Amino acid sequence: MRRVIACLVVSAVLCLGPSACARPDVDFDAARAYGQVEEQCAFGPRLVGSEASRQAADHITSELTTNGWAVILQEFEYRGVFVRNVVGKKGRGPLTILGAHYDSRAVADRDPVDRTQPVLGANDGASGVAILLELSRTLDVNAVGGEVWLAFFDAEDQGGINGWPFSVGAAYMAENLTDSPEAVVVVDMVGDADQAFYWEGNSDPVLTQRLWGIAHSLGYEEAFISQPGYTIMDDHVPFRRKGWAAVDIIDFDYPYWHTLEDTPDKVSASSLERVGRVLEEWLEQGN
Query: What is the DSSP annotation of 42-61?
Result: HT----TTSHHHHHHHHHHH
pLDDT band with cut points at 50, 70 and 90 for residue 15: very low
Three-state SS at 29? coil
- Residue 123 to residue 189: CA distance in whole angstroms: 5
Percentage of the chain modeled with pLDDT above 90: 90
pLDDT band with cut points at 50, 70 and 90 for residue 26: confident
**Taking the CA of residue 23 as centre, how many other CA atoms within 13 Å lie in the half-sphere pointing to its CB?**
23
Average pLDDT over residues 243-266: 98
Q: How many C-beta atoms surround the C-beta of residue 277 within 10 A?
A: 21
246-250 and 183-188 beta bridge pairing: parallel
Rg over alpha carbons for the chain, rounded to the nearest Å, is 17
* Helical ranges in 75-204 per DSSP H: 127-138, 141-144, 168-176
- Residue 90 to residue 88: CA distance in whole angstroms: 7
Average pLDDT over residues 102-115: 97
Residues 6+ apart with CB under 8 A from 110: 257, 258, 259
Tens digit of pLDDT for each residue in 131-168?
A: 999 999 999 999 999 999 999 999 999 999 999 999 99
* Helical ranges in the chain per DSSP H: 30-42, 51-66, 127-138, 141-144, 168-176, 205-217, 237-241, 269-284
**Taking the CA of residue 157 as centre, how many other CA atoms within 13 Å lie in the half-sphere pointing to its CB?**
31
Tens digit of pLDDT for each residue in 60-84?
A: 999 999 999 999 999 999 999 999 9
Q: Among residues 61, 29, 57, 211, which one has the least CA distance to residue 134?
A: 29
Q: Which domains does the chain have, with CATH numbers?
A: 2-13+27-284 (3.40.630.10)
| pLDDT given for residue 10 in this prediction | 62
- Residue 237 to residue 122: CA distance in whole angstroms: 23
- Residue 48 to residue 195: CA distance in whole angstroms: 28
Residues 6+ apart with CB under 8 A from 39: 59
2: left (phi over 0), alpha (psi -120 to 50) or beta: beta
pLDDT at 17 over 90: no
Angle (deg, nearest 10), helices 30-42 and 51-66: 150
